[in-house]
Structure 1
């Protein structure tokens, strides 16, 4: 059985050791997330899901420089951030799996009105989802990657500042 008290004590230790107050925190060396890349089992199906259902515009598609015949394509998820995909025709990569060190989910901030509208579109498309804390929708893309639409502003989660 998991020792929850020990886990909480370790989390508190890590917070005391590494977390600094915003006013004292050094600026990040990064400018932002350029793109996150996932694997697509079917390019057109992925485009329909992300562009038509979730309304993330396709911004580019070109040949993957590392694997001839493979596509590398991008969707705008706001604020200059991109969600990218590769397909790898001819490779049997198998189904999506959550593994240690792998992707758990991608959380994308949307305005509350968009959240409600997209929830309706997921319903209409028959995409199963789970609602958490009245502001998070968890669901899977056609290849099994878990997504979250979060109706909190960037830098906040469930009313708390995280960024």
Structure 2
């Protein structure tokens, strides 16, 4: 059975294990996090504390951007972005689908969460899919805000893939 998770695009670039799950996975990625990849690529601000990790992550971000800019994928993305909540599924490998969601921030959670966090939340609620994150403070805000989403820490990725609870 294919598992689905709402996730930020940069996490796909940073964490290689996400591309080699033990079971088939569909990552639902709000489009705003794709835009964030371009910002990270063009930024001079460090992404990672270690220089070697920084170079590796920037390379992976560039590779992901290059993949998304291939004509076939770009056409699918452009078509999906014309309609709110439309999806563009992109096959990354036999076991991994990267589905870009044309989500938008309607400020429903704007007081407590930034726009990207809000889009992650809204996508998870709309798709009734767990959220996967590497940000403990985001998890705490979700719990404290009693946001109705299931969330997994990235450290629990393999458990999340194998978990049968919905």
Length-normalised TM-score, structure 1 = 0.32
- TM (norm. structure 2) is 0.31
Higher relative contact order (CA 8 A, sep 6+): 2
Max Rg structure: 1
Greater helix fraction, Structure 1 or Structure 2: 2
